[in-house]
Amino acid sequence: MTFYATANPQNQYKQDYVTTASPVDLVIMLYEGCIKQLKLAKIHMESKEPARVSECFEKAEEILLELVRSLNLSIPISENLLELYQFMVDEIVQTGLTNDMERIEPVIEMLTSLSEAWSEVKTQVESGMYMQENEQGVE
């Protein structure tokens, strides 16, 4: 029996999806993963599971650091994103220290807005609207 025959089909699907995803899809997945970890941290805090809260915060920080590593700092907006990601990491760290989960909600909202913006870009690129608008000088 081969490894693939015994592997979890769902995990294989996820791995294939990630390895074939476009750069835009990867960014969206990172945002969604970070949002998921922060929401899970809130649930674990309510369930009085501090070790699980810390684990979720660590995963969220790792995701944000991956987003930082993916920035092209020669593009002006990247500097703004860098500052925003740093703010988010700082808020996660402070929440971990103070257990003030209210600090996480604005971070989730920012990540949701960023994810929605990237999804809109993806939709426009896929429909050809982005290229048509840029050819016409619309910004």
Q: Over the stretch 95-134, which tens digit does the pLDDT of each residue have?
A: 999 999 999 999 999 999 999 999 998 998 888 765 555 5
| Residue 111 contacts residue 31 (beta carbons within 8 Å) | yes
Q: Are 57 and 37 in contact (CB under 8 A)?
A: yes
- Tens-place pLDDT, residues 27-76: 999 999 999 999 999 999 999 999 999 999 999 999 999 999 999 999 99
Query: What pLDDT was estimated at residue 128?
Result: 79
- Amino acid, res. 118: W
Name the phi and psi angles at 138, rounded to 5. -85, 130
- Tokens, residue 134: 């840029």
Domains of the chain, each with CATH number or no CATH: 37-135 (1.20.120.340)
| Global confidence as pTM | 0.80
- Can you give the pLDDT at residue 125? 84
Contacts 24+ apart (CB under 8 A), 54-61: 54/96, 57/92, 57/93, 57/95, 57/96, 59/33, 60/34, 60/92, 61/89, 61/92, 61/93
Q: Is the pLDDT of residue 139 over 50?
A: no
pLDDT band at 86 (very low <50, low <70, confident <90, very high): very high
- The answer to whether residue 9 scores a pLDDT higher than 60 is yes
